Chain A
Amino acid sequence: MTHNEPNPWQLKSTRIAYQNPWMTIHEDSVVTPTGKDGIYGYLESNDSVMVVATNAAKEIFMVKTFRYPQKTWNWELPGGGGDKEDPITASKRELEEESGLLSDHWTELGSTAVCNGFMTEQMTSLLAESVTGAGIKQPDEQAIADSGFFSLKTIDGMVDRGEVNDGQTLAALYLYKRYLDRQHITGDSLIH
């Protein structure tokens, strides 16, 4: 969504404070909207994708993956950094890498700003329907302890119990429910 309000921050100078292949930390010297000198540090990374992959029974594929920043195993949808690819190309690659699944039916579900105070990352959620198994290409490279197809009802229960708490996974699941409502014209439902 583009808005027309002018940038209330004045940029004085900018430097790269840290960089690796996955992230660049920018540190901008700024004049804040209230006229004070300050710094704004933020993380630039590739935009990302999240995939809602459904089988013939409309069950959704999820993976239990290790997240080093939290030091925990989390149930999430497959997805990841886009390597500067377009969302569908990135999604096909991420889905195949994490699950060995293929699909010929892709639909874009919506866009999400992952953490707009500190990061530039925009996430695109995509739906891959009628997926078929092709075998995981590099299973050793993925920190995946478990995976499987779950009904939306089962996943709703996992969310309610706090077993699914990844913000990007939840955003993609809500965008999928929004899509289902539009398909079925069920009005104010977001399907349960």
Chain B
Amino acid sequence: MADWKTITSNVVYETPWMKIVEDRIVNHNGKELTYSYLKLQDEAVTIIATDDAGRILLQKQYRYPLRTTQWELPAGHTDGQPALEAAKRELLEETGLTSESWHHLGRLNLAAGIADIKHDLFLAKNATMTTDERDEEEDIVHQGFYAPEEVRRMLHEGEITDGDSMVILYKYLYEYTDADQA
């Protein structure tokens, strides 16, 4: 089956973080139509940081589009950096944590039909607090380390519903083994 072809492409709205792209396209049936989608200005990273006891850092963040707080993992934009460098920066900015043991856990497309948002997922083990300074622009209302059993309970009881956090937490808690680090 043929790919869809782009005839014209226009940015119809833009902020420093995302843009809305409106394209005229020809689809697999040869039909011409308009297709709009959201594209992040950069890619994104999400980080599971564990302390030396294996506890996982979770934070509760206010999410303006949903007008509610959600439990999630530290995450952010790459701002043009390679994904791993961006993950290290985001973790430090949001939590004050650093780690010597980073592992790539996968890559996701979010909202594939309506957006182009790519998330790289990382694990940062034995994370230690190196500064009390935090990026004050972040909308974080609570932060803490939680035992894996407690995070499993939160997943099972539907308390963690943020898409990328959910996927990486399930992957880490149920499928990740130390052998995967090789």
Binding site for B on A (CB under 8 A): 1-3, 5, 7-9, 17-18, 20, 22-23, 25, 27-28, 30, 32-34, 39-45, 66-71, 74, 76, 80-81, 110-123, 140-141, 143-145, 162, 165-168, 170-171, 174, 177-178, 188-190, 192
Contact = CB atoms under 8 A, between A and B. Distances in A.
Question: Main secondary structure on chain A at its contact with chain B?
Answer: mixed
A41 B18 contact: yes
B114 A7 contact: no
A78 to B, nearest CB: 12
Interface centre among A3, A69, A119, A192, by most chain B C-beta atoms within 10 angstroms, is A69
Contact of A67 (B40, B71, B113): B113
A167 B114 contact: no
Contacts of B108: 165-167, 170
Nearest to A44: B65
Contacts of A30: 64
B1 interface: yes
B110 A162 contact: no
A67 B114 CA distance: 9
A40 to B, nearest CB: 5
Interface stretch (B26-34, B90-98, B125-133): B26-34
A174 B13 contact: no
Contact of B18 (A1, A118, A177): A118
Contact of B3 (A39, A71, A74): A71
24 contacts: A1-B68, A18-B20, A20-B34, A43-B38, A43-B65, A66-B1, A67-B113, A68-B4, A68-B37, A69-B37, A69-B112, A71-B3, A81-B114, A111-B158, A112-B161, A114-B110, A116-B163, A118-B18, A123-B163, A140-B29, A165-B106, A167-B108, A168-B110, A170-B108
Contacts of B158: 1, 110-111
B165 to A, nearest CB: 9
A135 B70 CA distance: 41
Nearest to B28: A143
Contacts of B156: 178
A18 B62 contact: no
Contacts of B110: 114-115, 167-168
